[in-house]
A and B are shown apart, each in its own frame.
Chain A
Amino acid sequence: MDTTRLAIDLAAILAGGAPLVIAALGETISERAGVVNLSLDGKMLLAGMTGFAVGLHTGDVLLGFAAAALVGALVAAVLCLVSLRLRQSQTAVGFVLALLCTDLSSFLGNPYNRVSGVAVSHLPVPWLADIPWLGTVLFDHTPVIYLSMLLIPAAWWFLFRTRQGLVLRALGERPAAAFARGSAVVPLQAWYVVIGGALVGIAGAAYTLDLKQGWSYRHTAGIGWIALAIVIFGGWNPWRVALGCYLFGALQTLATRWQGAPPGILAEIPTQIYQLAPFALMILVLALVNGATNPAVARIAAGLPEPLRRPALWALGRLSVEAPAALGQSFVRP
């Protein structure tokens, strides 16, 4: 494979993974604060549709994104109201919201089905885009894609290097401890869930206004559910979450590539397999990663002979992830 081809592929993976990265990071923030927001896929659809419609009517892409962020935030606010305030199950409410928003997007989006509208314009970064190879991979994209790439270190830095990030994580780990330290637990959680929701909304608009321009029935093809799984696979860590998103993007790119391969074994495989393979592989990866946290696996590794034992234990230690300890539990003031 020549290097130009590789650069184009990498650029395609970075671009294709952008909405997934934004959505998964939004969910990461929400779950780090202790709230599971299962409405992700529905929210993405409804926000994407709204963003497209607003963009179409106003002719302003930015307004479209703003509207999408607003819709995402509003749906998240509904979840906060019902689960944090009225103390209903986060899982049940999130799931119902996902179904509701999906159907709402189909119903309200009907007039926009396969209509051509506005889109984000391509914006190579001056100077940097001219760097050979690297410029093609990193700096020859639309602003949405730059946003997704910048969001990764920003989210990581906020969560793990600032004091407010510490408080955010304390909310998800042990809300009673955050409360004892003087934080207003429920309002703070609500804020972070709403911020996460706005990001998911932007991710929806990233599809309809950029990567998969326009609107059609179930436009995201279930990508939101994958984002939820990737948050777990990524151990609620922005870098690993992003890695998971790009891995999924790469699997999809490969699938498309092999689908159009010259006659041979690869071309004989039915196309449906290629479309489904990334989902199945993601499940496999998840199973492997979560297997690493299984005490039985750790015991086997501890019993390996010496030259293998240490690296095996190290790898397990790196792979194993722990969910925020109070994830999904609503806090009640004592």
Chain B
Amino acid sequence: MDVAIEQLTRTFGGVRANDGITLQFAAGQIHGVLGENGAGKSTLMKVLAGFIRRDSGEIRLAGAPVELGTPAAAARAGIGMVHQEPLDVPAFTALENFLCGSDPVVFGDWRAARARLIEWNARLGFSVDPAERTGRMTVGQRQQLELMRLLTAGARLLILDEPTTGISAAQVDALFAALRQLAASGRTVLFVSHKLDEVAALCDTVSVLRAGRLQPPGQLAMPQPQAALLRAMFGEALAQPDAVATAQPAAAGAAVWHLDDATVRDGVLALERMTLTIPAGMAVGLAGLEGSGQQLMLRLLAGAVRPVSGRVMSGGRDLGGAGMAQARARGIEYLPADRLSAGLIGSFDLGEHLELLAPRRWWRDRVAARAAAGRAIATFDIRGTPATPLQALSGGNQQRAMLALMPDTLRGLLLDQPTRGLDVASARLVWQRIAERRRGGTAVVFASVDLDELLEHADALLVFVGGRVSRLIPRAQLDAPRLARLIGGIGFEEAR
């Protein structure tokens, strides 16, 4: 089904998320839609899927103008969207989610639906168990389920919003094979991503969005040189190699942390007999597949868990299980991955957060807090005002706000996925602030799943494989292929 978008505009509170976009997608092809966070990709896709309404402009399907005011209308027109966070019901089984739809069928044929689900599974090479509870499935399987449901509902235009975030390499391969097969059968596939290599591997054409506009206007046929796409996404300045190299030789300062034969356990994870020293100014990266023990290590260093044996020392005192308050009193701060649920209070503004951290008094000093918030906003380049509730900030601004809340006496900084969900420019700003802290003598330990980030910003790495940990490996001994092999467990024993 050919799709034509004419002068489409959608604004959110004065911000033009889509600004006069004109674009065509031909049937039977996979079309990439590129852009950094906040470029307007998701908005455009949600308008197409009827999820949000457009302000002006026209959408034509196979030449005929359509009104896509609701997802129901979009579904009738043959459009289906797999949202970035799969929009299914976690409490349902896979079969229940597969069957749950809008058509006016009252009773539903469960046996037939089950058979059809199994049939789609076989055809597309997917692995969804009809009886499994959706909340227990992986993100990749939930996407597969959504995709099969949309196909059953008769979708001829399939939209996938950042589908490769948080799914395994095998699932990416299965997804790409399935999408190629669906395009070959005449369906139109829109593939939204900010990962250039994926778009290059999969897509027939690419359209780049920047700040709500098409950049350059119109669709580009693939392949395109990577530099050209980078320039289109970020503009001239950012397409250049990183000007601010943040990794620097570690100043051999006093030990911020010292692990002395420490063993720590949490369920099946057991990090055993670790002895290592992290000096002031050093950055240690924690590498490994998600959930291999990195978070346990961070919590150990934050004083949140007590080692089974051995000791965790900081500043000459035992930190083991002393609690986060004790650790903070010694200048150690922990920034969790989930900023809004564990780090910040969404409805509070920056000034109120600063007040919470201020020495305990009976009264509030709002004027001083506002002034301090204003200074933090200027220093950390936060896009907001002292009165903006933090939930209204973008992910990058939230992360910088958390860094701004760190006290000046910071000795150790623990970060879990410091740039998750941030685009390149935001991530760079965050790392600049962290680098400034390091120059002041703060030791940094961060967990990341991004190999480039680990290699770029760490002086030494710890590799975690299934709850076991390597020794501290200097950055100079590692390159991306070796690190990838270590994470996969190849050559891991020698690194212990």
Contacts and interface: CB of A to CB of B under 8 A. Distances in A.
Q: Do A and B bind each other?
A: yes
A163 B46 CA distance: 26
A166 B92 contact: yes
Contacts of B91: 169, 173, 322, 324-325
A85 interface: no
Contacts of B428: none
A124 to B, nearest CB: 33
B102 to A, nearest CB: 3
B75 interface: yes
B90 A174 contact: yes
Contacts of B92: 166, 169-170, 173
Given A174-B87, A180-B87, A334-B51, A163 B71 contact: no
Interface string A291-334: 00000000000000000000000000000001011000000001
A169 B92 CA distance: 9
Contacts of A176: 87
Contacts of B72: 182-184
A167 interface: yes
B440 to A, nearest CB: 40
A44 to B, nearest CB: 29
A180 B71 contact: yes
B99 interface: yes
Contact of A177 (B81, B88, B110): B88
A164 interface: yes
Interface string B107-128: 1101000000000000000000
B89 A170 contact: yes
B: contact size bracket? 20 to 34
Given A177-B88, A325-B91, A163 B106 contact: yes
B101 interface: yes
A153 to B, nearest CB: 15
Contacts of A161: 110
Given A182-B70, A334-B51, A170 B100 contact: yes
A166 B46 contact: no
B459 interface: no
Contacts of B88: 174, 177
Nearest to B82: A180
A174 B107 contact: no
B87 A177 contact: yes
B107 A162 contact: yes
B149 to A, nearest CB: 8
Given A173-B89, A179-B51, A182-B75, 16 more contacts: A162-B106, A162-B107, A163-B101, A164-B106, A164-B107, A166-B96, A167-B102, A169-B89, A173-B91, A173-B92, A174-B90, A180-B71, A181-B100, A182-B71, A183-B72, A184-B72
Interface of A: 161-164, 166-167, 169-170, 173-174, 176-184, 322, 324-325, 334
7 closest residue pairs by CB, A with B: A182-B102, A163-B108, A182-B72, A166-B100, A180-B87, A173-B89, A177-B87
